[in-house]
């Protein structure tokens, strides 16, 4: 057995599923944000694997890794803004549990 593209795709898919599982399961806003990061990382792995396995000598397929570079930059922005929102939330409501943030309910 040699490691092919399918194995990388399965790892990426499992990582994505685990991220979605965490988002559904947890009620702590911080952990939900961490699981979102896991999902982003899974998509990155898929992109890199596809671009590496489909590259030929004529077409190096650099678009995949470059796209991953942008995803990493945007993920950093997302985490910064998300954590700022969580800190503001904590300051006003003294909680980060998503179940207790129901001011708009009913």
Residue 36 interacting with another protein (CB under 8 A):
no
Give the C-alpha separation, 98 to 33, whole Å: 12
Residue 93 interacting with another protein (CB under 8 A):
no
Residue 101 interacting with another protein (CB under 8 A):
no
Residue 68 interacting with another protein (CB under 8 A):
yes
Q: Supply 53's token pair.
A: 């396995």
Contact residue for another protein among 44, 101, 102, 103 (CB under 8 A) = 44
For another protein, the closer of residues 48 and 101 by Cβ is 48
Residue 104 interacting with another protein (CB under 8 A):
no
């Amino acid at each position: 057995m040699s490691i092919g593209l399918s194995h990388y795709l399965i790892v990426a898919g499992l990582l994505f599923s685990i991220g979605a599982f965490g988002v559904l399961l947890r009620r702590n806003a911080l952990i939900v944000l961490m699981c979102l990061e896991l999902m982003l990382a899974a998509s990155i792995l898929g992109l890199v694997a596809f671009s590496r396995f489909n590259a030929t000598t004529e077409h190096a397929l650099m678009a995949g890794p470059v796209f991953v570079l942008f995803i990493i930059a945007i993920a950093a922005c997302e985490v910064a803004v998300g954590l700022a929102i969580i800190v503001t939330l904590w300051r006003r409501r003294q909680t980060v549990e998503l179940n207790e943030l129901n001011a708009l309910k009913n």
